């Protein structure tokens, strides 16, 4: 039975000695996840297409590079580059990590793209067709699905053996159960197209894929859950990032949308809390957890 001191936050969310991989870890939600894990003691490998972004993120945000007594030994380590839409890149990354680590405890699939936008506002069918037909292409849709859905599947599958090695040769957990966190979106849970059909459809597929992988991979001892964020500061929402690989999303910009009860975007810390909860709670499996400031209470889902 748990004693009261077992409920201290430092115990509940302790990530010391955990080995993690975050795809898309150089910016946005991927970087928030990396910071939260590293701040609580994890060794976090971050990968993505832009090695300079990864190196800058690690240099700026790794606890080991900061003068703090609270780092608990956590580190953010750039590795790659890796294009998660390419099997050969993923396999190369697997081999590199196998040479560095005995196992993985956690994989966070945070790489993604927004896809094309086309507004379905017109009531005239001909004008509606013209808008959607001409501003979107089959190639755009395929690229969105390839990055936001297919790569999540193959990234997870690629690292299953390293995740299972967390269990040890006797099948018992070394620390806590190996797990995967995918990043879907509130956009995949709502009926409103938000002028980007391909992105919303892809994120809906990611959410369902998470449930499929959760059910099928539990036999291998691997949990899979998803975070469905609302508006958080990232290159996707803010269109840019600064020299610290961080983006700014002013509260008034979010409030002006008219469907966000919180009247602001989510904070880095709020995303970090969510990542730590799913990473540490071994009794949660197959969940799509929306963290959206109440948007899905207002927009049909």
Lookup: tokens for 62: 């790794």
Residue 69's pLDDT is: 45
Confirm if 55 and 262 have CB atoms less than 8 A apart.
no
Residue 245's pLDDT is: 73
From 199, 226, 234, 246, the catalytic residue = 199
Q: Residue ranges per domain, the chain?
A: 4-297
d(CA 68, CA 87): 39
Catalogue the E-assigned strands of the chain: 19-23, 43-47, 75-78, 106-109, 179-183, 223-229, 288-291
Q: 184 catalytic, yes or no?
A: yes
Each residue's pLDDT tens digit in the chain (301 positions)? 889 999 999 999 999 999 999 999 999 999 999 999 999 999 999 999 999 999 999 999 999 766 554 557 899 999 989 999 999 999 999 999 999 999 999 999 999 999 999 999 999 999 999 999 999 999 999 999 999 999 999 999 999 999 999 876 545 554 468 999 999 999 999 999 999 999 999 999 999 999 999 999 999 999 999 999 999 988 777 676 777 877 888 999 999 999 999 999 999 999 999 999 999 999 999 999 999 999 999 998 7
d(CA 52, CA 57): 9
Confirm if 80 and 54 have CB atoms less than 8 A apart.
yes
Nearest alpha carbon to residue 206 among 237, 182, 236: 182
Q: 187 catalytic, yes or no?
A: no
Q: 72 catalytic, yes or no?
A: no
3-state DSSP helix/strand/coil % of the chain, to nearest 5? 45, 10, 40
For 226-287, give the secondary structure using H, E and C: EEEECCCCCHHHHCCCCCCCCCCCCHHHHHCCCCCCCCCCCCHHHHHHHHHHHHHCCCCCCC
d(CA 130, CA 161): 48
Distance of CA 17 to the CA centre of its chain: 21
Give the CATH fold of the 4-297 domain: Rossmann fold (3.40.50)
pTM of the model: 0.93
Give the CA radius of gyration of the chain: 19
Residue 244's pLDDT is: 81
Q: What is the DSSP letter of 150?
A: I
| CA angle 15–19–24, rounded 5-degree value | 100
Please report which helix (H) or strand (E) contains residue 173, including its range: none
Lookup: tokens for 28: 């946005």
pLDDT tens, position by position, 153-174: 999 999 999 999 987 654 555 4
d(CA 72, CA 230): 30
From 62, 151, 155, 184, the catalytic residue = 184
d(CA 146, CA 226): 18
From 34, 185, 203, 246, the catalytic residue = 203
d(CA 41, CA 48): 22
Residue 301's pLDDT is: 79
**What's the first-to-final CA gap in the chain, in angstroms?**
40
């Amino acid at each position: 039975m748990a004693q009261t001191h077992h409920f201290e936050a430092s115990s509940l969310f302790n990530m010391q000695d955990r080995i993690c991989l975050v795809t898309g870890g150089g910016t946005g939600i991927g970087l928030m996840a990396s910071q939260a894990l590293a701040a609580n003691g994890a060794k976090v490998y971050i990968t993505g297409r832009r090695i300079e972004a990864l190196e800058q993120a690690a240099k700026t945000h790794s606890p080991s590079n900061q003068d703090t007594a609270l780092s608990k030994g956590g580190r953010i380590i750039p590795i790659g580059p890796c294009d998660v839409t390419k099997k050969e890149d993923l396999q190369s990354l697997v081999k590199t990590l196998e040479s560095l680590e005995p196992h993985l405890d956690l994989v966070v699939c945070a790489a993604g793209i927004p896809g094309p936008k086309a507004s379905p506002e017109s009531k005239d069918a001909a004008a509606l067709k013209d808008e959607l037909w001409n501003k979107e292409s089959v190639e755009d849709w395929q690229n969105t699905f390839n990055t936001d859905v297919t790569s999540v599947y193959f990234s997870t599958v690629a690292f299953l053996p390293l995740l299972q090695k967390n269990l040890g040769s006797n099948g018992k957990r070394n620390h806590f159960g190996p797990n995967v966190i995918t990043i879907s979106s509130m956009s995949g849970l709502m009926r409103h197209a938000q002028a980007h059909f391909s992105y919303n459809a892809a994120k809906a597929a990611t959410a369902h894929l998470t449930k499929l992988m959760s059910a099928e991979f539990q036999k291998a001892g691997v949990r899979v859950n998803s975070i469905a964020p609302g508006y958080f500061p990232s290159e996707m929402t803010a269109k840019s990032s600064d020299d610290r690989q961080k983006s700014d999303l002013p509260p008034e910009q979010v409030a002006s949308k008219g469907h966000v009860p919180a009247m602001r975007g989510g904070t880095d810390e709020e995303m970090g809390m969510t990542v730590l909860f799913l990473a540490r709670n071994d009794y949660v499996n197959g969940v799509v957890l929306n963290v959206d400031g109440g948007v899905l209470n207002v927009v049909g889902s």
